[in-house]
Amino acid sequence: MSAEYVTQDLHHFGIVAGVCEKIDLIGQIDVRITDTGRKVTVGEAVQAMVLIGEGIEASDLNSDSLGKALDRLHEAGITELFASISVHALRCYGVDVGFAHLDTTAMSLQGKYDFE
């Protein structure tokens, strides 16, 4: 009796799926954005944009579903939602952060400049 083996290249999806599950990405979004009354919640739509979630068919991810999810994310406040999910992810992985700095801009000037 010979065994038959099948391989499939998952690229980064296995790692991303594991991270999404560990930090409960869907739950973290859906707790902040109320039920839309649609089959696909906002959290599921976000995760599906990265990889399709369990029980969701490609046909469920039409432009109306994804567009409405993006609208709801914007209404909820993208920066606030990102910060909240980031803090939750740090806790899930046991990363202790002693400080927080939200300014993402940087300015640098170097060298000698001739003036009149």
pLDDT, residue 116, reads: 65
- The Cα–Cα gap between 44 and 27 comes to 9
Residues of the chain with pLDDT under 70: 1, 53-54, 99-104, 107, 109, 116
pLDDT, residue 73, reads: 93
- The Cα–Cα gap between 91 and 27 comes to 15
Q: Where are the beta strands (DSSP E) in the chain?
A: none
- The Cα–Cα gap between 17 and 27 comes to 14
pLDDT, residue 101, reads: 67
pLDDT, residue 27, reads: 95
DSSP the chain: ----------TTHHHHHHHHHHTTHHHHHHTTS---SSSS-HHHHHHHHHSPPTT--GGGS-HHHHHHHHHHHHHH-HHHHHHHHHHHHHHHTT---S------------S-----
pLDDT, residue 98, reads: 75
